[in-house]
Copies of this chain bind each other. A is one copy, B any other.
């Protein structure tokens, strides 16, 4: 008999500060989330190899990043039955879709860097 809407009825809105979708967006766009997802487009990675690929990330930050992405269902952590045991990270189907979108953003920015660099020089000369 409650008049409160169930969460099923709510539409996700990243602009609302308490919407869970904003947290999910932050996990994939945070300092390392986007790079980790994009690297995993290349195939499964073991932790240390992924750390080398995402140049500059600390062990602790990469572990936190992967944990958040795993919790959101974007990355799968798999312990392989090898001796010694290996841990491998792969994209889930949802993670692959998100990574594709982020990859598009990265390609766009990389290709437009001459414009960005020119804008920065202009800004710095006038401020």
Instruction: Tell me the bound Cα distance from A21 to B26 in angstroms.
Output: 19
Contact-residue bracket for chain A: 35 or more
Shortest Cβ distance from residue A39 to the other chain B in the assembled complex, whole angstroms: 7
* Interchain CB contact under 8 A, A124 and B71: yes
Shortest Cβ distance from residue A123 to the other chain B in the assembled complex, whole angstroms: 4
A24-B113, A102-B105 known, 18 other contacts, Cβ within 8 Å: A7-B117, A13-B110, A15-B39, A15-B55, A21-B109, A21-B116, A25-B105, A25-B106, A28-B105, A29-B30, A70-B123, A71-B123, A71-B124, A73-B122, A74-B119, A94-B119, A101-B104, A101-B105
The residue in chain B whose Cβ has the minimal distance to the Cβ of A71 is B123
Is A88 on the interface with B (CB-CB < 8 A)?
Answer: no
Is A35 on the interface with B (CB-CB < 8 A)?
Answer: yes
* Interchain CB contact under 8 A, B26 and A31: yes
Q: Mark A72-110, 1 if CB is under 8 A from B, else 0.
A: 111000000000000000000010011001101110111
* Interchain CB contact under 8 A, A119 and B15: no
Complex contacts, A46 vs chain B, CB 8 Å = none
Is A5 on the interface with B (CB-CB < 8 A)?
Answer: no
* Interchain CB contact under 8 A, B25 and A109: yes
* Interchain CB contact under 8 A, A71 and B119: yes
